């Protein structure tokens, strides 16, 4: 029987890597650096056409003597795991190897490697989760999640269900994606891949930049002094179009409302919203409508994809990690918000949102929201908060 007494779950340790840095402290610090360009101009992904990509520039650990798991997305995941391995080891001692679950979101897995190897294991969505389970020596539940851009938040949702239903005492949840030609070609064919830096919500928007990265979270039902509380998650589906969101954002708004209801919070309790913010007209219009419907322009918002690029299945995981860092008083004692990097020319065909500036601070930073809206009409919203 599900344990109905479990109402709260907590992020007790977390890590990340992307183009902004090799750890969450460095990543958050670099979000505040307005003068440095963290994108790489590359004409080799699509031969002869230069595009900006959010590439990881750090050295990743090797996966030796295991061809099934020797994938770049797993090396990204391993990097994140090593950063919180001490906390994971403590959880294993506390709960046992069969009581810790693993849920990893991804869209690419090892599709690039599969093109060369023809090893079907390389293209399996569950490969990263299987790798992490084997690496950590766990024996319980593990699964992959692939719901396009919402995969990272869906991993949190699955983790909550596993703990609530007494399948796991703790869950290692996260997301990983490496730069991959297949989705890059796909976005190029949709004519939404930008030759310039992405500037979401600008009237001069020009499309998306693709990035890569990963994030990992240790989730438990018991909190520590440094815990980040998972306060509420909302999930809906548009059933509108395979690649274009409903411009009115009706179901996106419903996901936001569900997250608020489950958290027991009101719109004015939210200090900041991390937007999905891809920099395409269809996403900007839908999300501006969805957010404005509930919050008007009373809440500071930003899209960190203007800093990291769109990391596909890893995007919501990385953005959730950035929200954790913003709430984490060890990393962000001054209560700085994540900035919105663009040209300052807001698209006036959109409802007006309150985009953040570099260096902007707030007096109260207790509850933040992170949006994710993916292909197929998948909508997921998570609210995170300080636990004390």
We report the CATH number of the domain holding residue 278 as 3.40.47.10
Q: Does the structure show a pLDDT above 80 at 1?
A: no
Report pLDDT for 2: 45
Q: Is residue 352 part of a domain?
A: yes
Same domain for 305 and 186 = no
Report pLDDT for 241: 84
pLDDT digits (tens, 9 = 90+) for 75-107: 999 999 999 999 999 999 999 999 999 999 999
Number of structural domains in the chain: 2
Same domain for 157 and 25 = yes
Pick from 88, 32, 35, 26: which is nearest to 58 by CA? 26
Question: Could you give the 3-state DSSP secondary structure of residue 22?
Answer: coil
Same domain for 244 and 216 = no
Question: CA 263, CA 82: separation in Å to the nearest integer?
Answer: 31
Same domain for 262 and 180 = no
Pick from 164, 72, 196: which is nearest to 122 by CA? 72
Q: Is residue 278 part of a domain?
A: yes
Q: Which of 165, 189, 220 is the last residue of a domain?
A: 220
Neighbours of 183 (CB within 10 A): 19
Banded pLDDT at 357 (limits 50, 70, 90): very high
Contacts of 321 (CB under 8 A, 6+ apart): 14, 15, 16, 24, 27, 215, 217
Report pLDDT for 388: 67
Same domain for 278 and 192 = no
Banded pLDDT at 5 (limits 50, 70, 90): low
Is 172 in contact with 218 (CB distance < 8 Å)?
yes
Q: Does the structure show a pLDDT above 50 at 372?
A: yes
Same domain for 316 and 236 = yes
Same domain for 263 and 214 = no
Q: How many CA atoms within 13 Å lie on the side-chain side of 175?
A: 33
Q: Does the structure show a pLDDT above 80 at 6?
A: no
List, by residue number, the catalytic residues.
149, 276, 310
CA angle 296-300-302, nearest 5°? 110
Neighbours of 190 (CB within 10 A): 14
Report pLDDT for 65: 86
Question: CA 39, CA 52: separation in Å to the nearest integer?
Answer: 6
Q: How many CA atoms within 13 Å lie on the side-chain side of 266?
A: 2
pLDDT digits (tens, 9 = 90+) for 304-315: 999 999 999 999
pLDDT digits (tens, 9 = 90+) for 135-159: 999 999 999 999 999 999 999 999 9
Q: Is residue 4 part of a domain?
A: no
Same domain for 136 and 156 = yes
Joined together, the tokens standing for residue 233 give: 């998650």
Q: What percent of the chain has pLDDT over 90?
A: 93
Same domain for 279 and 159 = no
Residue 271 lies in domain:
228-386
Question: CA 216, CA 83: separation in Å to the nearest integer?
Answer: 9
Question: CA 370, CA 56: separation in Å to the nearest integer?
Answer: 23
Neighbours of 242 (CB within 10 A): 7
11 pairs with which residues across the strands? Answer: 219, 228
pLDDT digits (tens, 9 = 90+) for 229-274: 999 999 999 988 888 889 999 999 999 999 999 999 999 999 999 9
Pick from 333, 337, 219, 224: which is nearest to 273 by CA? 337
Q: Is residue 2 part of a domain?
A: no
Same domain for 253 and 138 = no
Q: Is residue 99 part of a domain?
A: yes
Q: Is residue 371 part of a domain?
A: yes
Same domain for 280 and 251 = yes
Encode 289-322: b = buried (16+ Cβ within 10 Å), e = exposed.
Answer: bbbbbbbeeebbbbbbbbbbbbbbbbbbbbbbbb
Question: CA 198, CA 277: separation in Å to the nearest integer?
Answer: 10
Q: What percent of the chain has pLDDT over 70?
A: 98
Question: CA 39, CA 20: separation in Å to the nearest integer?
Answer: 9
Which helix (H) or strand (E) is 104 found in, with range? strand 100-105
Same domain for 61 and 186 = yes
DSSP 8-state class, residue 362: -
Mean pLDDT of the chain: 95
């Amino acid at each position: 029987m599900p344990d109905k007494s479990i109402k709260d779950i907590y992020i007790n340790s977390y890590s990340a890597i992307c183009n902004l840095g090799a750890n969450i402290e460095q990543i958050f610090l670099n979000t505040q650096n307005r003068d440095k360009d963290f994108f790489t101009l590359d004409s080799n992904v699509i031969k002869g056409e230069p595009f900006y990509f959010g590439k990881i520039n750090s050295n990743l650990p090797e996966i030796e003597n295991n061809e099934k798991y020797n994938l770049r997305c797993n090396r990204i995941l391993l990097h994140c795991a090593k950063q919180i391995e001490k906390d994971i080891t403590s959880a294993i001692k506390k709960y046992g190897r069969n009581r810790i679950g693993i849920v990893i979101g991804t869209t690419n897995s090892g599709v690039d490697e599969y093109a060369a190897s023809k090893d079907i294991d390389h293209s399996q969505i569950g490969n990263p989760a299987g790798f992490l389970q084997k690496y950590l020596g766990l024996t319980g539940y593990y699964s992959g999640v692939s719901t396009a851009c919402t995969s990272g938040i869906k991993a949190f949702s699955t983790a909550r269900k596993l703990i609530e239903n007494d399948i796991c005492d703790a869950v290692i949840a996260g997301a990983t994606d490496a730069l991959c030609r297949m989705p890059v070609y796909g976005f190029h064919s949709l004519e939404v891949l930008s030759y310039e830096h992405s500037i979401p919500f600008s009237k001069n928007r020009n499309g998306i930049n693709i990035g890569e990265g990963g994030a990992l979270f240790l989730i438990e039902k018991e909190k520590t002094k440094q815990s980040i509380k998972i306060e509420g998650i909302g999930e809906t589906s548009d059933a509108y179009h395979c690649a274009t969101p409903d411009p009115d954002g009706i179901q996106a708004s419903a996901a936001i409302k569900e997250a608020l209801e489950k958290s027991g919070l009101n719109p004015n309790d939210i200090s900041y919203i991390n937007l999905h913010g891809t920099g395409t007209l269809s996403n900007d219009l839908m999300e501006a409508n969805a957010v404005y419907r509930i919050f008007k322009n009373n809440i500071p918002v930003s899209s960190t994809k203007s800093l990291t690029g769109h990391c596909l299945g890893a995007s919501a995981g990385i953005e959730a990690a950035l929200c954790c860092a913003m709430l984490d008083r060890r990393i962000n004692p001054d209560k700085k918000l994540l900035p919105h990097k663009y040209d300052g020319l807001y698209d006036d065909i959109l409802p007006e949102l309150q985009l953040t500036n570099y260096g902007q601070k707030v007096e109260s930073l207790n509850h933040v929201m992170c949006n994710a809206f993916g292909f197929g009409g998948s909508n997921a919203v998570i609210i995170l908060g300080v636990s004390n």
